[in-house]
Amino acid sequence: MMQKKWTFKITPFRKALLAMVGVAVLVVIYRLIMGLGPVTNLSDDWPWGLWIGFDLLCGIALAGGGFSTALIVHVLHKDKYLPIARAALLTSLIGYIIALISLLMDIGRWNNFWRPFFYWGYHSVLFEVFRCISLYTTVQLLEFGDIFLEKVKILPLKKILKPALVPLTILGIVLPTLHQSSLGSLYLVTVDRLYPLWWSTLIPFFFVWSAFFLGPAMVTIEGTLASRAYNRKPELPIFQSLTKVTMWMLIVYLIIKIVDLNSRGVTSMAFNGSFESNMFLIEMIAFIIVPIIMYAIPSIRTKLWGVVTASALVVIGVIFNRMNVVFTGMAGSVGTSYFPSIWEWLLTIGMWSGLVLVYLFVVENFPILVKEEEEDEAFSAGTGMTAGKSVEA
Amino acid sequence: MSKGVLVDVTRCVGCRSCMVACKSWNDLPANKSEFANNWDSPGKINANNWTVVNSYIIEQGDDLKWRFVKKQCMHCLEPACESACFTHSFVKTKEGAVIYKPTELDQDYCVGCRYCMIACPFGVPSFQWDKPLPFVQKCKFCYDRMKEEGMEPACVTACLTGALQFGERDQLLAEARQRIDRDPNYIKQIYGEKEYGGTSWLYIADVPFEQLGFKTEAFGKPVSTKSIPTYTWDALKLTPYIFVGWGAILTALHLYTKRRAEVAHNEEEMYEAVNTQEKDQEE
């Protein structure tokens, strides 16, 4: 098994992505020298913008596929989902690295970034968010280390890592549960300012629950994209059986949302015709109720287009929800408007281009996706593997 | 022991001596003002203007009233900024001032995340947006004067009309109540007594507070009298239980389902790197 060589084929598409990353690196240098004022459209009214609202909040939420898949595969031992487990871990890991980079770019006094590691501000929600995210990124790196060592064989390291994997997996679910919810708790302080359709003492629950049900949908989208990119067969049976998880979680989300609005007496605000109420209705109908219906109808959910469309709605819906919390719901009480500057966009685009490139590189050099000819057997618990064929020609 | 300031809006003539005193005591740079359709310049507090006086023209029937309101950090009894900061860069001192440690005590842990600005219910902390390594800025209740000399804040010293009164918060509250009771013109409310858990700065006025730029209600309900830190702590205090409880549940599930589904599979044999040499179907 000589798998030491690294490959990365450069196509025009990848060249474009590389160019975007290059632009983003220039923006980073500019921002670090000039500070936030000249580079961003942030202000005292809008202290948080695109980098926190989208890259951090959505990046972390979209990486939810990592922990929900880990729970399903490694804790509940639903082995039929094994084929997607590593891809989910990989996208999650890259998502977290993006979130950490955007956080580093966003903090004003970036020279002090290491301080919070040595300071226990446990009364702050941000403390929990920061601790959990950095710890969880470490955990994911270690989990990934196991895969890394399958290619780069350093046996003593593998021996050390092996017994740690189970506790790491457990930790790798507990930590995201905590910080996905604390990302919601961050907005508890905006009482009387965040529109009551979104502000709730239950907002931590809504954030973690949606990050969890987003997982299977995100895995479906990633899997479909990867299969298109590499001309492989999409793992349709896996996507289909995941829809059950997502559908029931969506239903629970919807019910708790309605109960929450009623108990706070703000249900009528959803129908008062304001901008906020319309955005809220779009969020609930197009991105919660419609996917539930699509998942519930067998003739839709068993088709690839059906399961992919519904999953895309769920994914967009979670982004839509986070955007509503960060921007729509706050705009009314802030009074002024915010739109990201060209530099903010360029950094964001560059980071997500980087995500695609890293994903492609890792998938092409490490055992992440299931062996093609094994796919059918893999679905039935991954037994009866033949010896691995050499990948590199 | 906790100090406060009572602002009596009825006594303010809008001379803005307090603004000048604040600038000169704290060595804050001047900003060029712009023409605007009001008398408020610069209008809002920011990193270089820790206090501003806003003007309000109030129409009551045929009567026109000018009212001037000094705005600055309210110095909450339980400050949102202090609880929000994960490097504890804000602290409520025993004297009552809420200060920013990086500039005040030379303890520079602040990373500039600006969560304090999200957290503050009064929109007070401001950022030095034009600096490469900015600090958060806000009124510090002239903590330096108060602590070393026992002096009142510069703005209070500068006030010519007695609109600002410095003292023990309890005594100021009693004084405020007395004035309200004696004179029927006053609105029967002391802003800052209960809002968001109470603040060291207190306001009384003869015009409803919502007409003076104060937030008295939000979305049809009176503003919270619970402090912001209480809201977050109610959620945060559950963390250790979730950590241990959820971890235990997951471990139990892991062990239980592992025994049930003891299917041998070799993960290492299952996956492989995608081979791009054979097919180049990359989009």
On the question of pLDDT at B268 being above 80, the answer is no
Find the closest chain B residue to A6 by CA distance.
B273
φ, ψ for residue A251, nearest 5 deg: -65, -45
Q: Whole-angstrom Cα distance, residue B226 to residue B182? A: 29
Which range, of A303-317, B22-36, B258-272, averages the lowest pLDDT?
B258-272
Judged by CB atoms closer than 8 Å, whether chains meet at B219 and A192 is answered as yes
Is residue B137 within 8 A of residue B100, CB to CB? The reply is yes
pLDDT grade, residue A382 (50/70/90)?
very low
**What is the mean pLDDT of the segment spanning A297-316?**
90
Question: What pLDDT, on a 0 to 100 scale, did the predictor assign at position B262?
Answer: 54
Is residue B132 within 8 A of residue B154, CB to CB? The reply is no
Judged by CB atoms closer than 8 Å, whether chains meet at A177 and B85 is answered as no
DSSP summary character for residue B7: E
How far does the CA of residue B233 sit from the closest CA of chain A (Å)? 7
Question: Could you tell me where the DSSP H helices lie in A152-271?
Answer: 155-161, 165-185, 203-229, 236-263
pLDDT grade, residue A373 (50/70/90)?
low
Question: What pLDDT, on a 0 to 100 scale, did the predictor assign at position A278?
Answer: 94
Q: Touching check for A370 and chain B: CB below 8 Å?
A: yes
- Identify the CA nearest to A232 among candidates A356, A385, A376: A376
Residues 6+ apart with CB under 8 A from A206: A184, A200, A253, A256, A257, A321
Cβ count within 10 A of residue B27: 6
CA B77-A329-B189 angle, to 5 degrees, is: 35
pLDDT tens, residue by residue, A20-79 = 999 999 999 999 998 898 899 999 999 999 999 898 888 888 888 888 888 888 888 887
Q: Touching check for B255 and chain A: CB below 8 Å?
A: no
Query: Model pTM?
Result: 0.88
**What is the mean pLDDT of the segment spanning B215-236?**
90
Give SS3 for A42.
coil
Nearest neighbour of B88 by CB, restricted to A121, A368, A383: A121
Is residue A243 within 8 A of residue A277, CB to CB? The reply is no
Share of chain A above pLDDT 90, in %: 37
pLDDT grade, residue B279 (50/70/90)?
very low
Share of chain A above pLDDT 70, in %: 93
Q: Whole-angstrom Cα distance, residue A66 to residue A91? A: 7
pLDDT tens, residue by residue, B48-81 = 999 999 999 988 888 888 999 999 999 999 999 9
How far does the CA of residue B232 sit from the closest CA of chain A (Å)? 6
Beta strands in chain A (DSSP E): 369-370
Question: What pLDDT, on a 0 to 100 scale, did the predictor assign at position B273?
Answer: 78
pLDDT grade, residue A222 (50/70/90)?
confident
Cβ count within 10 A of residue A147: 18
Is residue B22 within 8 A of residue B139, CB to CB? The reply is yes
Question: What pLDDT, on a 0 to 100 scale, did the predictor assign at position B263?
Answer: 55
pLDDT tens, residue by residue, A136-179 = 888 888 888 888 887 777 777 777 777 777 888 888 888 888 88
On the question of pLDDT at A372 being above 80, the answer is no
Q: Touching check for B241 and chain A: CB below 8 Å?
A: no
Q: Whole-angstrom Cα distance, residue A326 to residue A336? A: 14
Q: Whole-angstrom Cα distance, residue A249 to residue A244? A: 9
- Rounded alpha-carbon distances, angstroms, from residue B200 to A52, B14, B44, B85, B96: 32, 22, 20, 20, 7
On the question of pLDDT at A191 being above 60, the answer is yes
First to last CA, chain A: 12
Is residue B202 within 8 A of residue B176, CB to CB? The reply is yes
Nearest neighbour of B231 by CB, restricted to A75, A191, A391: A191
Mutation for B interface: A5, A191, A233, A360, most B CBs within 10 A: A191
On the question of pLDDT at B199 being above 90, the answer is yes
